[in-house]
Structure formats: C-alpha cells, structure tokens
Structure 1
Amino acid sequence: MKLFIDGDGSPVKEETIALAQMYHLPVVIVTSIDHYTTKEYPEFVTFVYVDKGADSADYRIVGLTHPGDILVTQDYGLASLVLSKEVRVLHQLGTEYTLETIETLLEQRYFSAKLRKAGQRTKGPKAFTLEDRMRFKTSLETIIIEQVGERP
C-alpha cells in the first residue's frame, strides 16, 4: 500500500507524510514540473514530476495506483478514475470519495462549469482552516488503520 498525493497545490502534504512515517508507508507525490522542489524530504517520500498540462498528473496517478492504495486529491475527475481501481480517495477537507457519492459531485462540478461559462459567478472554495487540517488528519488515519489493520 502506498499513499499518493495529487501534489499541485495540496495543503496537506506534511500531514500525509507525518502519518505515513508513523505507519511506515511510502508516499508518492505526483506534481507538475512547474512545482519542482529542492526541499529535503524523508527517504520514503518520492516525487514523480510530469510535464505541464491540465491532466498530466492525473493520468500518471491513474497509471501508478493499485488496489489498496490511498490517494489524496481535491479533483473529482481523478477520484472517479481511481475509485474503479479500488483505491481509497480522500479530499483535503477529510471527506472520502466513494462510488456512491462521486456521480453527484461530478454533476455539481458540471453544472457549476456550465454556469461559469454562461457568465454567472459561482462560489469558490472557503479558506483552508486548522479545523479542516485536523479533520483531514483524523480521516486519513482512520483509512490507514482500516487498510493496515492496526495502530503502530
């Protein structure tokens, strides 16, 4: 089992890495070459850099993930692609995407895009809070425990 992070703009990289270290799990951060970093990370964290392009990271993540892996992303489209591979998918706000909920989320995204295209304004995301960060950590740890079967 590996933890994957859709790395472009993810605010929960550090929380994911900290939990992965506790549970001795590898982390793969997939991100655009535009976000190349020289920051030092632990050995169990690897980066996969992809070319610029709207869906380059998404396609790479789809190709790299396997059943039992966990993906952290806020991208509904990407979530829908890997759910069918039996990958657990968690939003940065701590909500787990499921086969039962993803269709509704994709429909909401479609209608919002349609409204924006027609010139109407839609709400953007709220500011990421400490409570959001804590909810994410709790949800991720719950999923990890369900996958590995125990606490360290």
Structure 2
Amino acid sequence: MNPSLQTIYVDADACPVKSEIVEICEFVNLPMVFVSSYAHTLTLPPTAKVVTVDNDKEAADLFLMNNAQKGDICVTQDHALASIMLAKGVITLSPRGFIYQEDTILQMLDTRYISQKHRRMGGKTKGPKPFRQEDRQLFIKQLTKIVTEKEGT
C-alpha cells in the first residue's frame, strides 16, 4: 500500500455505495472507516472499521474532520463537510461519483445557503434526484481511478 493514501473514510448514514467501497478497498487492500450514528445499524465485513457516534446532527462530521488527514479519501454527500475535507487535502467525492473541487465548492455552498434561506421563508425547493445505476457506476469508476492512481498501478 502506498503510504500517501492512508484510509478511506465514509459518511455512512445515508451512503448508498457502501458495498462498492468495501469491494474496492478489499481489492487494493486499503483501510476503510465507516462512520454512522447510533440510529443506523451497519452490517459490514470485518475488514471495515465501523465507528458509531451520537445521534447529534454533526457528530459524524466532527469525527471525520478530526480523523481524516491529507492524502485520505472521504465519501460524503455533505457539501459543507466536503469543503472542510478539501481544505485539509483530503480527496473528497460524493456517492454519485462527483469529485469535489476547491474551485467549485464555494458555488455549491452558496447554492445550498440560498436554498436553505428560501425554505426558511416558506418556499419550496427540489430535493435530490433519485439515485440511479448510472450514479453507482460513475462512483465505482471514479473511486477505482483515484485509488489506482494513488497506488501507481
């Protein structure tokens, strides 16, 4: 294993690609940490470390922020967490295979803020699109590419 890639961290509560992460990590022999709240029960193989945190809204995010280091990978749908991870030098991607970039994260956070403000004022906004098989395939492709580039294969 390349020491520049230590661990893959997963914001696991609502992550639809847990089994894909396990499969890829086992194939390349990378450690993985799945972080979820007590409200969610995860059934994962012994190769996956599972960290259970309080049900507090930000508990999983705090664990991830405090433990991920430069060169690690984080899988999350949370734009705010992604922005913090990017600042730490953590490669961050969504379960849909979108790789967060420093040059676009501010716009994503601004859009999120405007939508939240609109909802607080009683307005309606669209929710996320349904997760599709194409999203799953893109995620597998992107994570495999990141891991193999890091490994030098």
Q: TM (normalized to structure 2)?
A: 0.93
- Residue 10 of structure 2 corresponds to 5
Is 1:81 aligned with 2:84? yes
SS state at 2:36 partner: strand
- Residue 134 of structure 2 corresponds to 131
- Residue 24 of structure 1 corresponds to 29
Aligned mate of 2:113, from 103, 110, 126: 110
Give % identity: 39
Structure 1 stretches of 4+ with a deviation exceeding 6 A read none
Give the AA of the match of 2:32: V
Q: How many residues align?
A: 148
Residues 25, 44 of structure 1: 8 Å contact kept: no
Cα distance in 2, alignment partners of residues 42 and 91 from structure 1: 22
- Residue 145 of structure 1 corresponds to 148
Residues 26, 45 of structure 1: 8 Å contact kept: yes
Tell me the CA shift for residue 122 of structure 1: 0.5
Q: Structure 1 unaligned runs (5+)? A: none
Tell me the CA shift for residue 36 of structure 1: 2.9
Q: TM (normalized to structure 1)?
A: 0.94
Give the AA of the match of 2:55: K
Cα distance in 1, alignment partners of residues 17 and 36 from structure 2: 14
Alignment map for 1:38-77 (pairs within 5 Å): 39=43, 41-77=44-80
SS state at 1:52 partner: coil
Tell me the CA shift for residue 43 of structure 1: 2.7
- Residue 3 of structure 2 corresponds to none
Cα distance in 2, alignment partners of residues 42 and 2 from structure 1: 16
Q: Structure 2 unaligned runs (5+)? A: 1-5
Tell me the CA shift for residue 29 of structure 1: 0.2
User: RMSD of aligned C-alpha atoms?
Assistant: 1.0
Cα distance in 1, alignment partners of residues 55 and 46 from structure 2: 26
